[in-house]
Structure 1
């Protein structure tokens, strides 16, 4: 017998049996050695290649995501040592064990696909879980049948697993994000926004498109693979798919094909743009003759109306840029005060709220004028006055322009396309010099 020392996790957890494995890692059914703590079984996940930096970072990302999530559609996280991903320590993760099959296993017989009603209910539950994730700034990016498990063989109770390549806003400034030269996603459905060097690898709409791929897989019995084949046909337009889809009722199939027409567009701007929007379309598929209305339907209809308005994309881009800029205004003012030393500090007006825990800047926007205003001051306890500029960001054409006003004089600090990514390094340095020059003039240095 091997006399190998216990590895991390072995001290507390007893392995019962191996329950899975793949290219990246192995999973084991385990129980706590101290039975007074917990009495149920759990899943232990270990990396196969513990020396691969990328795999170690992926496990750390997965743990970072799971540790912030508390949702019935996601396995409960127990513990991990992934914070030591940069050290020479075998990494492990413990999570809730769910007795189940993957969606791939549940639909092993392609000749017996799922009914449209059940498939839609499955996807509606997945969308609810993903909307919860997106509100917390987490994008999964790898939705596929092997990453969906069916709790107790109940198709209305899907669970999303494997957050290994997810994006979490809370680590946006860290060092563990996927490199731009790496391709994300999976062979189930390749998406252009997840390809090498794409600037949209963090876009939550990729999750929405992959959910539509799950709907197609469930009722057609085969993966969509690509948005367009070599002859320019979408997944539901291919002969083999049409043969499988023809088994479903014509009235329902017509509505579902309409969803696929939009879901599998090449350009992400033409696909389903929000979860409430897709949710409403799916609901309409199975309740077209139901005139009953309830609170959830009204909410979905209102959200759908907002998200499909002609200027929704412009407003959404403005909001995202505004949040990013306000975060920089807040952080740079505090950095400058720290650089100036003892006696210096900052004051922020009531609208300048930055939630550090979630990395989100709260911005009050005048939607009629598409403008926001905030003030961030550098103070000194020994001086009668503070350097208190007012910052105003407004949409001008297809650009966002940020101005700073001091003593009635306006200075342009940034001009950037609404649908682009600003050079935040250059902007932060310009803002830093702006603050330093303003304080210098204020004290007459």
Structure 2
């Protein structure tokens, strides 16, 4: 028994046969393993042993992988069963043990044939994992078909493996950070942030989201997206439109085009900014039976129905009618006032259209400004406004200062002349007296000052 197996045995583990290299990844050797205390489990664990144990940055990145997994709490991320990765600065052989993922990876499913709904379910599941990762400050950076596993028929609950290129905000082990512009890792989908010499960084949420869009594209077409823009400026979906199932509803194909157009943008700042936004788009594709435009129309109709808007419109229209009658009353009252003071005062009125589309409580319905001015050049004058409003389903009339000071407005505050129930037929008779009294009081005050 070699030294490494002795260490494993002391920690309660036995390893078995090595897993085929094409499924083990580039950074580690992978073996089946089981606990010493559970010989009947059929080697239900995977042991990853770091390749090139003497390379410092690989040891640091291996530690980063385990740290990232330890910060996550999601059913789609394997819990760490055992590791010695925190000893990455020592000379010990580093390893990681997780439970064994059953089922198949996305490459296998695509080879067997995925239907439209299954492709969407897998994508939603991975996006949900990525959303959780980003909430914990972790960018996976290596999302590709061979890292996505699921059981047949349970596509909505995938497992995302291999956090070997993960970046952890504020918790990256020393020596584990990929230099900006260094080409390392994922060739499934290559954007400008992966190119040597660029100032862009892969430590960005949008890189993960872009790779998730690539997963959806691959699941639907069987083609790896490869480079985001080819030599003639075409994005992956523009190079493979004919491969999308022609049986997909037209509006769903259009929605996919929009998802791919934005998801495969060359510059990260123009892509989908968060997993949440993309999740909403893909979920609608899966769950909705109507297009977004038709859904919006139906939702608007339901909103109108629930809002009891017709009843509110009736109140509004009655308020407008009461406002017109009230302002007509003001004009009728001002005729004898103007005639009685014609040698001394000039009386003008102006109707003001208030800027509203549908008045809320306390919002004005209409307003008439009344101006009293001396005819013979004396200084001063007074302008008042009569304002109508709907408040708590009542029709309210107030007299307000417009220009000039007046003692009829205590502390320059409006005076309420009355409030009536919407539709009250007798309100004009009740409004006449307070209107006349206040207008006469204003004239009296102006004449005494003159």
Aligning the two structures, in what range does the TM-score lie when normalised by the shorter sequence?
0.5 to 0.7
Q: In the TM superposition, what are the counterparts of 1:344-423 in structure 2 within 5 Å?
A: none
**Partners of 1:116 and 1:248 within 8 A in 2:** no
Q: Which residue of 1 aligns with 2:130?
A: 130
Following superposition, the deviation at residue 198 of structure 1 comes to 3.3
> Displacement, 1:3?
6.0
| TM-score w.r.t. length of structure 2 | 0.59
User: Does the CA-based 8 Å contact 1:141-1:184 persist in structure 2?
Assistant: no
Question: Equivalents in 1 of 2:39, 2:118: separation in Å?
Answer: 41
Q: Which residue of 2 aligns with 1:26?
A: 29
The structure with the greater share of residues assigned to helix is 2
Partner SS, residue 7 of structure 2: coil
| Residue 46 in structure 1 maps to residue 45 in structure 2 | no
Whole-angstrom CA distance in 1 between matches of 2:2 and 2:129: 44
Partner of 1:279 in structure 2? Answer: 279
Instruction: Answer yes or no: is 1:59 the counterpart of 2:68.
Output: no
Q: Distance in 2 between matches of 1:260 and 1:67?
A: 32
Q: Name the CA distance, whole Å, in 2 between partners of 1:257 and 1:101.
A: 28
Residues 16-42 of structure 1, C-alpha deviations (whole Å, 9 max, x = no match): 322343432221111111339999721
Once residues 199 and 187 of structure 1 are traced to their aligned partners in structure 2, the CA distance between those partners, rounded to angstroms, is 17
Partner of 1:68: 71
Q: Name the counterpart of 1:107.
A: 110
SS of residue in 1 equivalent to 2:213:
helix
Cα displacement (A) at 1:265: 1.1
Go from structure 1 to structure 2 and tell me whether the alpha carbon gap of 1:97 and 1:255 turns closer, same or farther (over 3 Å shift). Answer: same
Structure 2, unpaired ranges of 5+:
300-450
Whether the 8 Å contact between 1:8 and 1:91 is mirrored in structure 2 is: no
What SS does the corresponding residue of 2:255 show, helix, strand or coil?
helix
Could you tell me which residue of structure 1 aligns to residue 225 of structure 2? Answer: 224
Unaligned runs of 5+ in 1: 298-445
Question: 1-side partners of 2:7 and 2:159: how far apart?
Answer: 27
Determine whether 1:243 maps to 2:246: no
**Counterpart in 1 of 2:214?**
213
What displacement does 1:171 show?
1.7
Instruction: Supply the distance in 1 between the matched residues of 2:4 and 2:217 (Cα, whole angstroms).
Output: 49
Residue 52 of structure 1 and its aligned partner are, at CA, apart by: 2.0
What CA distance in whole angstroms lies between the structure 2 residues aligned with 1:48 and 1:231?
39
In 2: Cα distance, 1:193 partner to 1:233 partner:
18
Contact 2:4 2:93 in 1 (8 A): no
Deviation at 1:137, TM superposition (A): 0.4
Q: How many Å separate the matches in 2 of 1:173 and 1:159? A: 25
Q: 1:39 to 1:70 in 2, by over 3 A?
A: farther
Which segment drifts farther, 159-168 or 276-285? 276-285
Query: Aligned to 1:9, what secondary structure does the other structure show?
Result: helix
CA distance in 1, matches of 2:203, 2:105: 26
Q: 1:82 maps to which residue? A: 85
| Separation of aligned partners in 2, 1:46 and 1:236 | 38
Change (3 A) 1:274 1:4: closer
Q: Identify which range, 28-37 or 80-89, moves more after superposition.
A: 28-37
Q: How does 1:333-344 map to 2 (within 5 A)?
A: none
| Aligned counterpart, 1:332 | none
Q: Decide which structure has the larger Cα Rg and report it.
A: 2
**Structure 1 pair 212–102 and aligned structure 2 pair: CA distance change class (3 A):** same
Alpha-carbon offset, residue 153 of structure 1: 5.8
Flag as ranges the 4+ runs of structure 1 deviating above 6 A. 36-40, 290-293
Give the drift of 1:13. 1.1
Question: How far apart, CA to CA, are the structure 2 residues paired with 1:6 and 1:267?
Answer: 47
Could you report, residue by residue, the CA deviation over 1:213-251 in whole angstroms, capped at 9, with x for unpaired residues?
Answer: 00000001110001111111111111xx22211544241
Aligned equivalents of 1:200 and 1:270: distance in 2?
Answer: 15
Contact 2:181–2:194, Cα closer than 8 Å, also in 1: no
Contact preservation (8 Å) 1:227, 1:266: yes
Q: Matches of 2:163 and 2:82 in 1, distance apart?
A: 15
Secondary structure at the counterpart of residue 210 of structure 2: helix
Residue 4 of structure 1, CA deviation: 5.4
Q: Structure 1 residues 173 and 64 mapped into 2: Cα distance closer, same or farther (>3 Å)?
A: closer
Distance 1:213 1:140 in 2: 14
Alignment of 1:170-181 (within 5 A): 170-172=170-172, 174-180=174-180
Change (3 A) 1:153 1:183: farther
